[in-house]
């Protein structure tokens, strides 16, 4: 067998050991809380220095360990832990690192629930959260303090897809003795290798592309060897665990990740390119487009793109906007993304603390699913034409800039 396997091959063979499971090609679902020992000696041997109760279902089963092993290898990290949601992975990974009196830096474009957690929950623990401009790069050094414990990064940014110079930020953070944590959900470990760019802990909403079928909630956090003891203890102290059926669905989804993600990428770029030329679209936010402000960073550091991006429409009334959204036939209106289905999500103006993000028209987040790309293009075009027709019938529906 080759010493270095291609990504698609690793995804198919990682986390599997049929010989341990009576020849089953898939790691079976192990349901259980109690794990029996045959002898006192065996019981004592399972104890760990920081956890004498490690031999218990809450700390994992063969199903859990298969997924954690597979994700850690995908990310290029040391070890991984699963959580009941992507947000749980974000929040508990943060809590595993910080302590009272610490200072935390987060990008102004961070995922909304992570922002809320930082501003509200961390404050209750006497931990100060401060935001920085997504494009700060090495300039993050100006905001680092003696008590800065964590610098959080997310690329591209949630909703508006700003890119970040992660290696430059990580270099400055490490000089100050801070950990670097990244939300790597958009690119997945296939298209961004966080530990090769200075990240200490990588978190993902595995609900999205890893599961891939919109039928399970799951989060994963992966750490390098230095940060692993903190992540592991923090997660276990909070009692975080997840049911084996959802873990099995993630293992199933990952086997086809490379094939699915390639089509999400191709279709997403095709839709974004078409929309960038449409007169009703004011701008497209997709770092894989050459005209995007973050394209150079994406091209330098990333190996691909996912199917998620956003657009800003030209200013129009809510009635005309409804004409567009309601006419879509293949795009559902809903939260989440990363499944096989295409979605749109109307968004409000993004929340910003230090770097205003001016918006004149309506923002719409788009997830390109696995439908035929020509069908999706045609669906968007006919819905935009419907909006144009609404404006032509009632020109007063347009909103002046």
What is the band of 395 on the pLDDT scale with cuts at 50, 70, 90?
low
Q: Which residue has the higher pLDDT, 168 or 1?
A: 168
Among 208, 232, 260, 365, the one annotated catalytic: 208
**Cis, peptide link before residue 156, omega less than 30° from 0:** yes
Q: Which tokens go with 203?
A: 């978190």
Compute the distance between CA of residue 284 and CA of residue 279 in angstroms, rounded to an integer: 12
CA-wise closest residue to 351 among 168, 119, 76, 193: 119
201-204 β-sheet, strand order: 79-83, 219-223, 201-204, 179-183, 148-154, 103-107, 128-132
- The residues pairing with 48 across neighbouring beta strands, listed in sequence order, are 51
Is 53 one of the catalytic residues? no
Tokens encoding 232: 């592991």
* Predicted local confidence at residue 260, as pLDDT: 97
Listed range (103-107, 346-350, 368-372) with the worst mean pLDDT: 346-350
Angle at 191 between CA 188 and CA 194, to 5 degrees: 75
CA distance 280 to 341: 24
pLDDT average, residue stretch 223-241 = 91
pLDDT at 400 over 60: no
Domains of the chain as residue ranges with CATH: 7-30+61-254 (3.40.640.10), 257-397 (3.90.1150.10)
pLDDT of residue 397: 47
Reported pTM = 0.91
CA gap 327, 244 in Å, rounded? 40
Active-site pick, 183, 246, 301, 379: 183
Taking residues 36-43, what's their average pLDDT? 90
Model pLDDT for residues 54-82, shown as the tens digit of each residue: 788 788 889 999 999 999 999 999 999 99
Determine the distance from the C-alpha atom of residue 351 to the mean position of all C-alpha atoms in its chain, rounded to a whole number: 19
Cα–Cα distances in angstroms (integers) from residue 190 to residues 248, 339, 373, 376, in the given order = 20, 16, 22, 25
Catalytic residue, chosen from 30, 111, 132, 209, is 111
Can 233 be counted among the known catalytic residues? no
Mean pLDDT for 37-53 is: 84
Rounded-to-integer distance, Cα 107 and Cα 32, Å: 40
Q: Which residue has tokens 């298969």?
A: 66
Backbone torsions φ then ψ of 270, nearest 5 degrees:
-65, -45
Annotated active-site residue in 46, 56, 58, 266: 58
List, for residues 133-151, the tens digit of each pLDDT value. Answer: 999 999 999 999 999 999 9
Q: 183 Cβ partners below 8 Å, 6+ apart?
A: 90, 110, 111, 114, 152, 153, 154, 158, 203, 204
Distance CA 339, CA 89 (A): 19
Based on the residue annotation, tell me whether 208 is a catalytic residue of this protein.
Answer: yes
Q: Please say if the pLDDT value at position 12 is more than 90.
A: no
The answer to whether 58 is a known catalytic residue is yes
Work out the percent of the chain whose per-residue pLDDT is above 90.
Answer: 78
365: which residues sit within 8 A by CB, 6+ positions away? 159, 308, 309, 310, 337, 343, 344, 345, 347
Half-sphere exposure of 364 (CA within 13 A, CB side): 30
From CA 359, how far away is CA 105, in angstroms rounded? Answer: 25
């Amino acid at each position: 067998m080759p010493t270095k396997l291609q990504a698609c091959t690793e995804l198919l063979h990682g986390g599997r050991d049929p010989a341990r499971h009576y020849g089953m090609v898939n790691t079976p679902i192990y349901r259980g809380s109690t794990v029996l020992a045959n002898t006192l000696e065996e019981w004592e041997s399972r104890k760990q220095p920081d956890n004498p109760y490690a031999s218990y279902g809450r700390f994992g089963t063969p199903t859990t360990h298969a997924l954690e092993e597979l994700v850690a290898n995908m990310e290029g990290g040391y070890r991984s832990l699963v959580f009941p949601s992507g947000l749980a992975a974000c929040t508990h990974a943060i809590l595993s690192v910080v302590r009272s009196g610490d200072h935390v830096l987060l990008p102004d474009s961070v995922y909304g629930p992570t922002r809320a957690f930082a501003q509200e929950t961390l404050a209750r623990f006497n931990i100060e959260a401060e935001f920085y401009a997504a494009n700060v790069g090495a300039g993050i050094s100006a905001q680092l303090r003696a008590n800065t414990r964590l610098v959080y990064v997310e690329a591209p940014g949630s909703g508006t897809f700003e890119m970040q110079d992660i290696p430059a930020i990580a270099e400055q953070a490490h000089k100050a003795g801070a950990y670097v944590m990244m939300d790597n959900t958009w690119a997945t470990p296939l298209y961004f290798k966080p530990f090769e760019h200075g990240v200490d802990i990588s978190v993902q909403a595995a609900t999205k592309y890893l599961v891939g079928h919109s039928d399970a909630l799951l989060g994963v956090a992966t750490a390098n060897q230095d940060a692993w003891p903190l992540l592991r203890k923090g997660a276990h102290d909070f009692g975080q665990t997840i049911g084996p059926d959802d873990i099995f669905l993630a293992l199933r989804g990952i086997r086809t990740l490379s094939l699915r993600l390639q089509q999400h990428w191709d279709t997403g770029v095709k839709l974004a390119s078409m929309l960038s030329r449409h007169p009703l679209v004011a701008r497209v936010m997709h770092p894989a487009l050459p005209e995007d402000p973050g394209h150079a960073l994406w091209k330098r550091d990333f190996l691909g793109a996912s199917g998620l991006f956003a657009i800003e429409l030209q200013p129009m009334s809510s009635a005309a906007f409804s004409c567009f959204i309601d006419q879509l036939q293949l795009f559902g209106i809903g939260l989440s993304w990363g499944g096989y289905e295409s979605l749109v999500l109307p968004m409000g103006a993004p929340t910003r603390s230090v770097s205003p993000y001016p918006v004149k028209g309506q923002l719409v987040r788009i997830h390109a699913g696995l439908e035929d790309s020509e069908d999706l293009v045609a669906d968007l075009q006919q819905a935009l034409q419907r909006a144009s027709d609404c404006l032509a019938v009632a020109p007063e529906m347009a909103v002046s800039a």
